[in-house]
Structure 1
């Protein structure tokens, strides 16, 4: 593999003797489990609340903690790509995920279960940037839309499989089997990866700045912890813990950005955000992730706790939209290659916002058919925005900035999911409290159901405004032209 003096691969260079499909299959299989774990646990929420005697605000840490771990570690993983080989990082990420899955499968307490989730997330944090970076290297520029369509498939197929698979396992076995299934699939990915994955990225070994790592951890961690804590029953936005966490997070992030701008080898090269289409693409991916995971946290709870559906039925209700979204990922990639992002992003954001507006009016009388249709529209809208915005943004970066770009996008993507869930839970909890404060008989079980419904309506209405903010950004998207590249990678 020809490498420039700076240690980077030029856009015109190629990676010889690489079997693209087996490599991508191994990376995507492990990646799908990483995203599967983001939503599969949502169907088990009611079981976990009952088994461990915890509240909705506490159980959401299984999702927020998972995403927060991803957000904290992904900046470091973007740097590790330049320190360790492709094989080393793949094997390490999958083994850590296997250990986390084993701990989760055998967990007998909430704390142990949360530990397993954090280890699963640590493995995924290493894998996601590696998957993006490898795809950018082994696919030619003119096929990058299809490549990103495949990568985006990981972030749609995993969540698509999560609710239904989880519901099936819970109805017939127990929630522990969600982790056993993850473990077994990861073992298969490990075997394929050991066989086919080769080292494709150059190793430059830039300096790791400990101060930057500490600042990013405090910054992202403080924001997510503060927002998540604000949603807990005995807390609120005026609670000193929440205020201190948010202030610490904001100050640390400001200091982090300043430090990165003054370093020759930053932990996260925020200068990539000077590229306007990359900045807009990153913001749109942030919005898509927060909308997607916020909705996917609230909807299973509505189906199980309000409509009183079984776990399997709830999963099946969300399956059609998720499958259509997964199937459309490569199609949207091809459309992007042909027409560019503009005619996908804006209609996608309009569809997403309109769907959330209808969603915010669901009640105990809403039909399953309506929820299926709305969920399908939501998933289609999100995929029309996500992949084009992401690919168009990365296309504007020079080849030497690919690790930085993928690290930034992946970091903010996971932080977005954590913040989206935390904000949705906070708004939902506030809505429940307001409703119960205005009813004559708070002890009436019927009022509890109505209060939960009102809280969920508020949460989905809030998420709609997040999508509308994305629409404002979407009108500024412009197609980025990239040079064509020819290579001789083995596509077998």
Structure 2
């Protein structure tokens, strides 16, 4: 037998109608990830019905993110240890059960529990989807398929507020879950029949200390970063530096243990030894910071500065999400032809220009059309980054690291999203409160928005330089 390079990946397994399998997984992933951002718009209604404060209601989102941060790192081990169909059924069963619990929740604590159970399924779906694509789709067509995946990653969170705004305009908050429930049940039933085991499970022991360190590391970082904005406004009982410190120390211990465990690692960090993977993951982090930062900031700006309603705000953000979704398959096909750098470098530049424009044009009298235009420009830039970066990152790894690479990317996305939210909200709150000497006025809030987006623009400028280092993954060599 001819020797095979360590980066060599086997040819994709022969799977009957792989397009159908990928379409099912993409649809299921879209539904579950959509739920990551649907609750923000519903918080006022929930605060009234359950008589809870804003800091308590915010746990509907915080608990969801914390659960994902804890479960995603474990998904790499699960996808290595268990058959693909088993993981899919577990993921969709958990999401379906959580949706039913949330829809019927009689008290707020039960609603929180439903969101946690939902998040377990959501955390498993994206690594499962990406691992499947890497195993069944030939390298020369992965860009096109990953373009479809980018719709899930970027568009589902982007249109979450729009969907919930449309529902809440006519129906109660329970319908956010009731409308999703039959879709989840159908996906579970069809998937149990269609999904095939395209991976070879390996008997890898579960390292319990790694699980504990992972939960403390990523849970602490997500919680601490998510609490920074509330702390700036004086609304959090725990100082953010405490969970962030615990998270950082636990992360250092987690990294050290994973490198020592090597093949037995919960999350095999040797993926970072591949330069293409490391560079792409760094840029994905910046992209997610920009996306989630603007997703949290623009609704505040539109509602509290421009005085728009919840429904109007959701509809104004919809064009950006749709543009990103429409561009993703096109960018995927272009990637297969020209590789990542001709797409990522211009995309990073466009995204940076959009953020710099936002930092200057968004004020108390900005026209709605201007807000929509700069938001669409931002999503165009991000659309040209997500697909090439994801494909380059995972396509550069050997097959044995596919599941771990997918889990690493998913974990980084969650931490980066929380960091982007923390950065934007903290700067906005600090500047607006200082400018208004206590209670932010509309003008002070607009100043805070300017300052926050300016920081985002500075970070994006660094990404423009790093984007020049992106390279096409090395050709697959089969021995």
For normalisation by structure 1, the TM-score amounts to: 0.89
Please give the secondary structure, in 1, of the residue aligned with 2:240: helix
User: What SS does the corresponding residue of 1:262 show, helix, strand or coil?
Assistant: helix
In the alignment, the residues of structure 1 paired with residue 108 and residue 285 of structure 2 have an alpha-carbon distance, to the nearest angstrom, of 29
Q: Which deviates more, 425-434 or 332-341?
A: 425-434
CA change 1:399–1:368 in 2 (3 A) is same
Which position in structure 2 is the counterpart of 1:388?
388
Question: Counterpart of 2:81 in 1: which secondary structure?
Answer: coil
| Distance in 1 between residues matched to 2:445 and 2:53, nearest whole Å | 13
The question of whether the paired residues in 2 share the 8 Å contact of 1:349 and 1:385 is answered with yes
1:386 and 1:56, CA in 2 relative to 1: closer, same or farther beyond 3 A? farther
CA 114–366 in structure 1, closer or farther in 2 if over 3 Å, else same: farther
Q: Which residue of 2 aligns with 1:460?
A: 453
Supply the distance in 2 between the matched residues of 1:237 and 1:212 (Cα, whole angstroms): 33
Equivalent position of 1:29 in the other structure: 27
Query: CA RMSD of the aligned region, Å?
Result: 2.5
| Residue 44 (structure 1) aligned to one of 34, 42, 45 | 42
Deviation at 1:366, TM superposition (A): 1.3
Provide the secondary structure at the position in 2 that maps to 1:208: coil
1:226-259, CA deviations, whole angstroms, 9 ceiling, x for partnerless residues?
2222322477799984333222211111111111
Of 297-306 and 338-347, more deviation after overlay is shown by 297-306
**Does the 8 A contact of 2:65 with 2:222 survive in 1?**
no
**Which residue does the alignment assign to 2:3?**
none
Q: Distance in 1 between matches of 2:30 and 2:315?
A: 19
Give the CA deviation at 1:13: 3.5
Tell whether the 8 Å contact from 1:233 to 1:429 is kept in structure 2 after alignment: no
Residue number in structure 1 paired with 2:474: 481
In the TM superposition, residue 398 of structure 1 has moved relative to its aligned partner by 1.1
8 Å contact 1:230–1:236 — kept in the other structure?
Answer: no
Question: Counterpart in 2 of 1:339?
Answer: 338
Secondary structure, aligned partner of 1:231: helix
Partner of 1:449: 442
Aligned runs of 1:225-244 on 2, under 5 Å? 225-233=223-231, 241-244=239-242
2: CA distance between counterparts of 1:132 and 1:152? 10
Shift of 1:466: 2.8
For 2:358, the equivalent position in structure 1 comes to: 359
| Alpha-carbon shift at residue 200 of structure 1 (Å) | 1.0
Q: How does 1:50-449 map onto structure 2 within 5 Å?
A: 51=49, 59-107=57-105, 109-233=107-231, 241-264=239-262, 265-361=264-360, 362-437=362-437, 442=439, 448-449=441-442
Distance 2:464 2:235 in 1: 28
Residue 56 of structure 1, CA deviation: 5.8
Over residues 35-69 of structure 1, what are the superposed CA-to-partner deviations in whole Å (9 max), with x where a residue is unaligned?
21122223334444555566666554433432232
Deviation of residue 208 (structure 1)?
Answer: 0.9
Q: Is the 8 A contact 2:102 2:113 kept in 1?
A: yes
TM-score (structure 2 length as normaliser): 0.91
Aligned length: 471
Q: Secondary structure at the match of 2:38?
A: helix
Q: How far off is 1:207 after superposition?
A: 1.3
1:9, CA displacement in angstroms?
12
State the 1:210 CA deviation: 0.8
Please, which runs of 5 or more residues in structure 2 have no aligned partner? Answer: 1-5
